[in-house]
């Protein structure tokens, strides 16, 4: 079965601004007053001259920018919506306020159905903000529930099952403890491989998979060796978190005297088929200021890609120190939202503004850099040259942006207007694999109000369970006080 596309031709005519791929210069460029035709899942024509073939549907795009669908290469849809409004001001300074060690576990959904409800809401938010591809990472519960949410939404999904050989827990307010699983992670690995095989064989063009070991401190060297053997054998990509917190950084130094990135290099994990999630706390980051200066160079030399998620890190007071340094080292940077909001347009805004602050130089990161990261570079990181760019023969994943939206005006450059001003308010229509999934700013594939109501019910129940889940028996108000006193 291919996805529910039909083999009819849709023509977008008189497109005021078309963000088209220029193969000769390996760059996006604007084509003014252009035309684009799609048939089934593919772009079959693009150019300044009108399409000459037969059209089954014609869309007047004279008041639109059409751009490639955005590619989100790092997120956790089955859990993140549960944290909304609770986690943004919360942290433990003893763990550099990273939410991984206490906090996230408090709000996790309890079963596969709840995970799917969270995924639906996440994917709705993503599609409405112009994302057409989502690389999702989670410990798998039920493959059909997880993939089912993706199929229902209509997004292009890379289902990446997380696995580990140990867990980490905040046993006190200031102490983390790592505990190896009794089976060395065998069950977790086998569970993930089942999901990988299932997703790869899933009868939809839109569903694929890659491996997702969790992070260097939670996956044993043996498990990472198995990972790379499997990836080489299957020709698949590997996506894992690393260099994401000072706690992880110091734990890896304690274990073997090498940073997380150096450890992965030693273990043969870095390479062109590997994507590192976050990669923030590298050896030269000021929060660790380690004596080596190798991490970014190792990522660049090995052709490793980075999934950069600036918004969630900024909320905790972290930043990727020097976007420019990673780029200069040859690291391919794609963007991810990690958690809510699943809004890749806001993520581009965060990437450019925070990147400029990090370097203290507005020329360190350009608008084109972050647009590339959210499209063609993210696609390259996940091994796809048929998405993230609009050209003949590429997938019909595209976004129609309304240039008549008030917040896009006065208009001079539509990408700038969208990234810095209008954001998703100007996203009008979205197509994935040739199928329209958003029309006039509303989802066609799912009932947004129903899925929001469902997740609200789950979150309210979760809120009541907080004291049972918290190690210190705290209620939600104590864990995450409201912004102001509530009387
Ligand atoms: Zn993550």
Q: What separation in Å is there between the alpha carbon of 103 and the centre of ligand 1?
A: 14
E strands, 215-281, where? 238-242, 274-278
pLDDT recorded at residue 104: 67
Containing 66, the helix (H) or strand (E) segment is: strand 64-68
Q: What separation in Å is there between the alpha carbon of 240 and the centre of ligand 1?
A: 8
pLDDT recorded at residue 471: 77
Q: What separation in Å is there between the alpha carbon of 447 and the centre of ligand 1?
A: 27
Token pair for 177: 């403890």
Q: What separation in Å is there between the alpha carbon of 74 and the centre of ligand 1?
A: 6
> Domain 9-68+390-443 class?
mainly beta
pLDDT recorded at residue 221: 97
Q: What separation in Å is there between the alpha carbon of 336 and the centre of ligand 1?
A: 9
pLDDT recorded at residue 4: 46
Closest C-alpha among 419, 317, 408 to residue 358: 317
Q: What separation in Å is there between the alpha carbon of 474 and the centre of ligand 1?
A: 26
Q: What separation in Å is there between the alpha carbon of 31 and the centre of ligand 1?
A: 36
Q: What separation in Å is there between the alpha carbon of 147 and the centre of ligand 1?
A: 18
Give the residue extent of every domain in the chain.
9-68+390-443, 70-381
Q: What separation in Å is there between the alpha carbon of 309 and the centre of ligand 1?
A: 9
Q: What separation in Å is there between the alpha carbon of 52 and the centre of ligand 1?
A: 46
Q: What separation in Å is there between the alpha carbon of 338 and the centre of ligand 1?
A: 5
Q: What separation in Å is there between the alpha carbon of 307 and the centre of ligand 1?
A: 9
Q: What separation in Å is there between the alpha carbon of 76 and the centre of ligand 1?
A: 6
Q: What separation in Å is there between the alpha carbon of 242 and the centre of ligand 1?
A: 9
Q: What separation in Å is there between the alpha carbon of 144 and the centre of ligand 1?
A: 22
Q: Along the 487 residues of the chain, how does pLDDT read in single tens digits?
A: 344 445 799 999 999 999 999 999 999 999 999 999 999 999 999 999 999 999 999 999 999 999 999 999 999 999 999 889 988 998 889 999 888 887 667 777 778 999 999 999 999 999 999 999 999 999 999 999 999 999 999 999 999 999 999 999 888 888 999 999 999 999 999 999 999 999 999 999 999 999 999 999 999 999 999 999 999 999 999 999 999 999 999 999 999 999 999 999 999 999 999 999 999 999 999 999 999 999 999 999 999 999 999 999 999 999 999 999 999 999 999 999 999 999 999 999 999 999 999 999 999 999 999 999 999 999 999 999 999 999 999 999 999 999 999 999 999 999 999 999 999 999 999 999 999 999 999 999 999 999 999 999 998 888 888 888 887 788 888 888 999 999 9
Q: What separation in Å is there between the alpha carbon of 244 and the centre of ligand 1?
A: 9
Q: What separation in Å is there between the alpha carbon of 342 and the centre of ligand 1?
A: 13
Q: How many CA atoms lie within 13 A of 455 on its CB side?
A: 25
**Residue range 70-381, CATH number:** 3.20.20.140
Q: What separation in Å is there between the alpha carbon of 46 and the centre of ligand 1?
A: 37
Q: What separation in Å is there between the alpha carbon of 276 and the centre of ligand 1?
A: 10
Q: What separation in Å is there between the alpha carbon of 162 and the centre of ligand 1?
A: 10
Q: Residue holding tokens 């037969």?
A: 54
Q: What separation in Å is there between the alpha carbon of 339 and the centre of ligand 1?
A: 8
Do residues 78 and 138 touch, judged by C-beta distance below 8 A? Answer: yes
DSSP class per residue in 270-300? -STTEEEEE--S-TT-TTT--S---HHHHHH
Containing 95, the helix (H) or strand (E) segment is: none
pTM of this prediction?
A: 0.96
pLDDT recorded at residue 3: 44
DSSP β-bridge partners for residue 179: 167
Q: What separation in Å is there between the alpha carbon of 241 and the centre of ligand 1?
A: 6
Q: What separation in Å is there between the alpha carbon of 19 and the centre of ligand 1?
A: 30
Token pair for 377: 């570079």
Query: CA-CA distance, 135 to 156, in Å (whole number)?
Result: 9
Query: What torsion do the CA atoms of 469, 471, 472, 473 make, to the nearest 10 degrees?
Result: 20
Do residues 335 and 308 touch, judged by C-beta distance below 8 A? Answer: yes
């Amino acid at each position: 079965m291919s996805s529910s596309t039909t083999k009819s031709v849709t023509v977008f005519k008189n497109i005021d601004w078309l963000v088209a791929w220029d193969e000769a210069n390996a760059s996006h460029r604007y084509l003014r007053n252009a035309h684009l035709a799609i048939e089934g899942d593919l772009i079959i024509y693009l150019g300044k001259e009108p399409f000459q073939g037969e059209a089954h549907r014609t869309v007047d795009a004279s008041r639109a920018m059409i751009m490639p669908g955005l590619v989100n290469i790092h997120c956790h849809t089955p859990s993140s919506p549960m944290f909304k409004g609770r986690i943004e001001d919360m942290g433990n300074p003893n763990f550099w306020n990273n939410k991984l060690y206490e906090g996230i576990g408090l709000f996790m959904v309890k079963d596969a159905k709840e995970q799917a409800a969270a995924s639906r809401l996440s994917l709705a938010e993503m599609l409405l903000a112009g994302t057409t591809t989502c690389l999702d990472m989670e410990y798998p519960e039920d493959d059909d529930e997880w993939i089912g949410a993706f199929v229902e939404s209509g997004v292009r999904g890379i289902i990446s099952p997380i696995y580990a050989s140990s867990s980490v827990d905040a046993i006190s307010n200031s102490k983390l403890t790592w505990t190896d699983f009794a089976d060395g992670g065998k069950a977790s690995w086998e569970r993930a491989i089942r999901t990988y095989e299932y997703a790869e064989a899933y009868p939809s063009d839109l569903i694929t998979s890659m491996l997702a070991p969790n992070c260097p401190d939670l996956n044993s060297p043996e498990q990472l060796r198995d990972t790379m053997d499997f990836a080489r054998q299957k020709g698949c990509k590997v996506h894992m978190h690393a260099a994401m917190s000072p706690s992880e950084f110091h734990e890896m130094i304690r274990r073997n005297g090498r940073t997380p990135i150096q450890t992965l290099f030693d273990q043969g994990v870095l390479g062109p088929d590997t994507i590192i999630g976050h990669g923030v706390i590298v050896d030269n980051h000021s929060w660790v200021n380690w004596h080596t200066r190798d991490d970014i160079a190792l990522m660049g030399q090995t052709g490793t890609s980075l999934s950069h998620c600036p918004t969630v890190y900024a909320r905790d007071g972290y930043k990727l120190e020097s976007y420019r340094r990673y780029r200069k080292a040859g690291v391919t940077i794609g963007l991810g939202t990690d958690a809510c909001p699943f809004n890749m347009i806001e993520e581009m805004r965060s990437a450019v503004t925070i990147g400029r602050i990090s370097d203290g130089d507005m020329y360190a990161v350009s608008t084109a850099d972050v647009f590339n990261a959210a499209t063609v570079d993210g696609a390259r990181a996940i091994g796809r040259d048929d998405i993230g760019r609009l050209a003949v023969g590429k997938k019909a994943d595209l976004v129609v942006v309304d240039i008549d939206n008030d917040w896009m005006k006065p208009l001079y450059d539509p990408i700038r207007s969208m990234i810095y001003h209008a954001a998703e308010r100007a996203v009008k229509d979205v197509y994935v694999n040739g199928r329209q999934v958003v029309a006039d700013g509303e989802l066609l594939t799912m009932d947004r109000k129903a899925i929001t109501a469902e997740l609200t019910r789950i979150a309210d129940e979760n809120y009541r369970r907080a004291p049972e889940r918290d190690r210190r028996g705290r209620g939600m108000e104590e864990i995450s006080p409201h912004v102001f006193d509530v009387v």
